[in-house]
Structure 1
Amino acid sequence: MPDQTTNPLANPEGFKLGVFAANADGGLAITTVPERWRASWADNVAAAQIADRAGLDFFLPIARWQGFGGETRAREHSFETFTWAAALAALTERIAVFSTVHVPLVHPVYAAKALATVDHVSGGRAGLNIVCGWNPAEFAMFGATPDERGYERAAEWIRIIERAYTEDAPFDFDGAYYNLKGVVSRPASIQTPRPMTMNAAFGPPGRDFAAQHCDMLFSTFSDIADGARHVADISARADAAGRDVGIHTVCHVVCRDSADEAREAYDRYALHEADHDAVANHMAGKKQFSKSHDEDAYTRYAQRFAGGAGTYPLVGTPDMIAADIARIAAEGYRGTALSFLDYTAELPHFCEHVLPLLKEAGLR
């Protein structure tokens, strides 16, 4: 087993909870309401420290280089994630802090050095979200195009990083995607053979990659009752690779004192006052290039893309949300990343009212 015991996610006990996408304008919501998340640096620090003090397990960014247009120019404003993670690591105490990287756009030797830096700043709490990328417009900014065999490149990429940390002397690497001479990267990460890794994948190539190279895999579902099917598929791939992979999902949260208040708030920001042009751009790109959701999700659940990038909605009272999280755990998921319309305004309410219910249920 790798030595990652400094990372809070290494503790197998309890259902893991994290905060997702706070580094980007809007978070995962695509809406015009005035209270939408603006993702200032001060906002990010405040949200990370709220999550840290409450005992949440991880803080996970998205990697965005270009937004989705519309009235809000959705997600055009976002922080680069290695720098973001290192800074937040210095301002938190126990929460795991991830970086998210598009493999084709970041050289593995640079990534090894940057990731090790975050791991040392955090005292061994760094994590790496490995993304192959799906947005051709973003890749064009770098003079690149998405690779249909991107996970083959990613396998070489992560092997180079692991070898850079574990080999005693400089090494050469001769692969299909990288031809490198005299590779060395010191200091190595505190976690061995590397910091904890994750991938978000829905299709077979991504799931096979995660089964072979990642500690965590994030996957979506349209209905909670359908979650076990995805867990079984991913678990079978991990078993075939002789590895244990923690299967997680992603949800967006609207938690209010009454169910009617929660539904009204959700409909307001994600339906009536959604940034409809940006939502359409986002959904079209995801449907054509990402393959990250069930095919019918784009027509059946359009509100979810405005509310939280197509993730599952946890909308209701604390009791309702705790019950839904318990159902997700019962399907076999080990945790979920959460997004909010306004993290600093809504995360404290979630932590105060939902976390105790999860503890009573034996999930925390």
Structure 2
Amino acid sequence: MSHHPPVDPESFATPLQFAYWVPNVSGGLVVSKIEQRTDWGYDYNKQLAQLAENNGFDYALSQVRYIASYGAAYQHESTSFSLALLLATERLKVIAAIHPGLWHPGVLAKWIATADQISGGRAAINVVSGWFKDEFTKLGEPWLEHGERYRRSEEFIRYVREIWTSEHAELNGDFYRLHDFDLKPKPVVGPDRPHPEIFQGGNSTDARGMAGRVSDWYFANGNTPEGISEQIRDVSDVATVHGRSVRFGVNGFFIGRDTEREARDVLREIVDKADREAVEGFGSAVKQAGQSTGDQKGMWQDSEFADLVQYNDGFRTGLIGSPEQIATRMLEYKRRGVNLFLLGFLHYLEDVEYFGREVLPIVRELETAELERV
């Protein structure tokens, strides 16, 4: 167990936060034929949201899929589903994934402002630039090349932030324009929260630059602590130049069992029973998207077959083992500047409860011990 000091003792003092992927699409969070006691319907998700907020979760992220793809035959729309979860909970913040290009930013800003008012300031968005070409072309929308998708997303975020915070919103961009627009009511304003939080993902240089310039949070695909450090450094360097700071989340698939061997057996079974055709289809689609980046640093560029069984490389984060092993691993990421874990699970209700009961208390103990040491 490494004991090098945290990057920044002051930011380390903030407890790690936790989010979970909302299973609002069918097929669960692994593309595998293993039994998954997880349901994509509303009743299950309502129960899950209430359980999660009582087991240490701060956020839930509703996925966005518009058509059947790679094991997800059915999908609930993310913004309406997020509002339903906000209404079913008291403290949980719910992040709706949205696609620029399929939303007008002013309409989306209005929608979220209403959801934010209704929920007492708990709405957030995750701006997804898009990797799945069919979602655009089958709806008759243009599919932009990689760099242009990120340019559009950046402008989308600037527009949404302007409309949420200004009384005479103005923006004159390449994709969007605003002329003396005043949104009323505006979203809820709170301490350290001038507007609903804006998340984004991506691994490419385009994504890192965009996060540094405009986003509140950067979600990284699953990766090693060393790989995450590089992304945090790149995004933070850009943010510093623009007088900003960005917080960091990392995707991880959680398999917590009483012993490491039990957890490894579950992982082996997930991969052994992978839906090979769906995983390979997903792999070729996302690798094609990643190779279209200028420097080949796109998401999934170096993902192996086993990594792709979990959409966002969640196995690579290594949250697989006993509670002590997982908590220790989480602290390793925190030392490198990670603020939040975005978790997926096999059997959501059981695994979320296990996390809250067995793992979270150890995380908090380790955080306290580390702060006392520094």
| TM-score, normalized by the shorter chain, greater than 0.5 | yes
SS, match of residue 239 in structure 2: helix
The amino acid of 2:65's aligned partner reads R
Distance 1:363 1:309, change over 3 A: farther
C-alpha distance in 2 between matches for 1:47 and 1:330: 30
1:172 Cα deviation from its structure 2 partner? 6.2
- 1:140 to 2:137 alignment: yes
1:179 Cα deviation from its structure 2 partner? 4.2
Partner of 1:154: 153
Partner of 2:162: 163
- 1:261 to 2:262 alignment: yes
The amino acid of 1:151's aligned partner reads Y
For these two proteins, the number of residue pairs brought into alignment is 346
Q: Deviation per CA, 1:115-159, whole angstroms, max 9, x where unpaired? A: 112211220111110111111111112212332212222232223
Percent identity reads 27
**1:30-41 mapped onto 2 (5 Å cutoff):** 30-41=31-42
C-alpha distance in 2 between matches for 1:55 and 1:132: 30
C-alpha distance in 2 between matches for 1:278 and 1:183: 45
Distance 1:141 1:180, change over 3 A: farther
**1:196-275 mapped onto 2 (5 Å cutoff):** 196-269=197-270, 271-275=271-275
Distance 1:363 1:113, change over 3 A: farther
**1:34-53 mapped onto 2 (5 Å cutoff):** 34-53=35-54
Partner of 1:195: 196
Note if contact 1:20-1:339 (Cα within 8 Å) is conserved in structure 2.
yes
C-alpha distance in 1 between matches for 2:160 and 2:335: 35
Partner of 1:276: 276
**1:213-362 mapped onto 2 (5 Å cutoff):** 213-269=214-270, 271-290=271-290, 292-293=298-299, 295-297=301-303, 299=304, 302-311=305-314, 312-362=317-367
The amino acid of 1:164's aligned partner reads I
- Structure 2 residue runs without a partner (length 5+): 1-10, 291-296, 370-374
1:12 Cα deviation from its structure 2 partner? 7.5
Distance 1:179 1:335, change over 3 A: closer
Partner of 2:92: 95
Note if contact 1:20-1:27 (Cα within 8 Å) is conserved in structure 2.
no
Note if contact 1:37-1:342 (Cα within 8 Å) is conserved in structure 2.
yes
- Structure 1 residue runs without a partner (length 5+): 1-9
C-alpha distance in 2 between matches for 1:259 and 1:224: 20
C-alpha distance in 2 between matches for 1:284 and 1:21: 25
**1:4-153 mapped onto 2 (5 Å cutoff):** 13-69=14-70, 74-148=71-145, 149-153=148-152
SS, match of residue 250 in structure 1: strand
- Give the counterpart of 1:185 among 175, 178, 183: 183
Q: Deviation per CA, 1:244-293, whole angstroms, max 9, x where unpaired? A: 10022100011111211111111112x12111111111111111114643
Note if contact 2:116-2:123 (Cα within 8 Å) is conserved in structure 1.
yes
C-alpha distance in 2 between matches for 1:227 and 1:11: 16
Q: Deviation per CA, 1:296-350, whole angstroms, max 9, x where unpaired? A: 22x3xx2122135322341111111111111111222111100001211211011
Partner of 1:7: none
C-alpha distance in 1 between matches for 2:41 and 2:19: 19
Distance 1:363 1:293, change over 3 A: farther
Q: CA RMSD in A?
A: 2.3
1:211 Cα deviation from its structure 2 partner? 1.1
Q: Deviation per CA, 1:45-75, whole angstroms, max 9, x where unpaired? A: 1111111112311111221112334xxxx12
C-alpha distance in 2 between matches for 1:25 and 1:102: 20
1:21 Cα deviation from its structure 2 partner? 3.8
Partner of 2:6: none
1:28 Cα deviation from its structure 2 partner? 2.6
C-alpha distance in 2 between matches for 1:174 and 1:238: 23
Q: Quick check: 142-151 or 176-185, which moved more? A: 176-185
C-alpha distance in 2 between matches for 1:313 and 1:66: 30
SS, match of residue 121 in structure 1: helix
Q: Deviation per CA, 1:97-128, whole angstroms, max 9, x where unpaired? A: 11110011111111011111221122011111
TM-score (norm 2): 0.86
Note if contact 2:19-2:60 (Cα within 8 Å) is conserved in structure 1.
yes
Q: Quick check: 190-199 or 41-50, which moved more? A: 190-199
Note if contact 1:173-1:181 (Cα within 8 Å) is conserved in structure 2.
yes
The amino acid of 2:75's aligned partner reads S
Note if contact 2:64-2:78 (Cα within 8 Å) is conserved in structure 1.
yes
